[in-house]
Amino acid sequence: MVEVKINDEVKVGGNNPCFIIAEVGQNHQGDIEIAKRLIKAAKDAGANCVKFQKTCLKEKFTKKYLERPYDNPNSWGKTYGEHKRHLEFSESQYRELFKYAHEVGILCTASAMDMVSFDFLVNMKVPFIKIGSGDSNNLLFLKYAASKQVPLIISTGMVDKSAVKTIYDIISAQHKNFCLLHCISAYPVPYEDCNLTVIQDYMNTFDIPIGYSGQEIGTAVALASVALGAKVLEKHITLEKTMKGTDHVCSLTPPEFQQLVRDVRVIENALGTPIKKVVTSEIPCIDKLQKSLVMGCTKNKGEILYPGDVKIKVAEPKGLNALHFEEVIYKTLVYDKKEDEPLNQGDFC
């Protein structure tokens, strides 16, 4: 089983439980206290990791793009640059957040939105680096990231399968310590666009752990992704869905995130084995309600049991398991038997 090693204790893929990432992204609204509350909420919800987004604005965007007006209800500034600057934490704030996450006891990292941010996160010694869908076509960056030999979790929104194969080839040329996440980059994703069965296609194509980064509303699709085999699950977390910001609408509140984690663990437990067998917990129901072979009428020793003479009923005491019906027909009774009496091995020959 392929596994990605995040650190000495945490491995992703193979038989390990699904690695659940609470994506704060920019839902902190540029406020470190909200960011801390989200870290704590992620921990309390049972997430395995909490994640931010790290951007070096000059590196990720052109000057002109940053000067573009950003006039909408989710904007934190007149231009896109002002908006993004408001949402960006400084190095010392990141140090504070990582320290806080460490104290709270949850893994903490960020997506590197560009090469400068990637180096920043490497220096911060984060457990792994996420590469978001914004870089799924950024082959230069992917090559750079692969060369750094740190564990990577890479999202694949906004590109088709051939580009995903290219991402796989680029990283696996350097190492196999990475996962690919199926992702559709819309906020929120219409359910009919989730194309969740892509997860299975990735699992059939790539020999690395596959996961899902979900931007759709609610938890149903995310839960289905785990049932389909996702070994990493990322969902946005927010304190309040009505807060200002592009991603709150497709985020989960702390109680919803907690329910998600609980349900993921139930699903993993329930997936069990593909071997169909009778399990111990079924025994009371077998005893109470499973049908067995009984006499359909009264017959005497030496008489032949014709098809209509044997019935299948819930009986007390039980007769032979009803699956043996065909073996009993046309056999001779060894004892006298009354209607409804159970038929057992040794009652016929």
Ligand X SMILES: CC(=O)N[C@H](C=O)[C@@H](O)[C@H](O)[C@H](O)COP(=O)(O)O
Ligand Y SMILES: C=C(OP(=O)(O)O)C(=O)O
Interacting residues with ligand Y (CB under 6 A): 53, 111, 130, 132-134, 155, 157, 181, 183, 185, 213, 215, 234
CA atoms within 13 A on the CB side of 219: 18
Q: Comparing C-alpha atoms, which of 104, 159, 167 is closest to residue 139?
A: 167
Binder among 74, 93, 259, 344 for ligand X (CB under 6 A): 74
Which DSSP state fits 79? B
CB of 25 to ligand X, least distance (A): 4
Binder among 25, 81, 211, 319 for ligand X (CB under 6 A): 25
How far is residue 236's CA from residue 209's CA, in Å, rounded to a whole number? Answer: 21
Considering CB distances under 5 to 8 angstroms, the limit depending on partner class, which of ligand X, ligand Y, none binds residue 130? ligand Y
Stretch that binds ligand X, among 127-135, 161-169, 267-275, 286-294 (CB under 6 A): 127-135
What residues form DSSP beta bridges with 179? 153
290 binds ligand X (CB under 6 A): no
**DSSP strand pairing (107-112 vs 49-54):** parallel
**DSSP strand pairing (11-13 vs 49-54):** unpaired
Site for ligand X in 319-348 (CB under 6 A): none
Angle formed by the axes of helices 161-172 and 139-147, nearest 10°: 30
- Residue 51 or 311 having the CB closest to ligand Y: 51
Site for ligand X in 220-249 (CB under 6 A): 246-247
- Residue 48 or 156 having the CB closest to ligand X: 156
Residue nearest to ligand X (CB): 246
* Phi/psi at 344 (5° precision): -125, 165
Q: Which two tokens stand for residue 336?
A: 């006298």
CB of 132 to ligand Y, least distance (A): 2
Helix (H) or strand (E) holding 330, with range, is none
Stretch that binds ligand X, among 56-64, 89-97, 128-136, 313-321 (CB under 6 A): 128-136
CB of 185 to ligand Y, least distance (A): 6
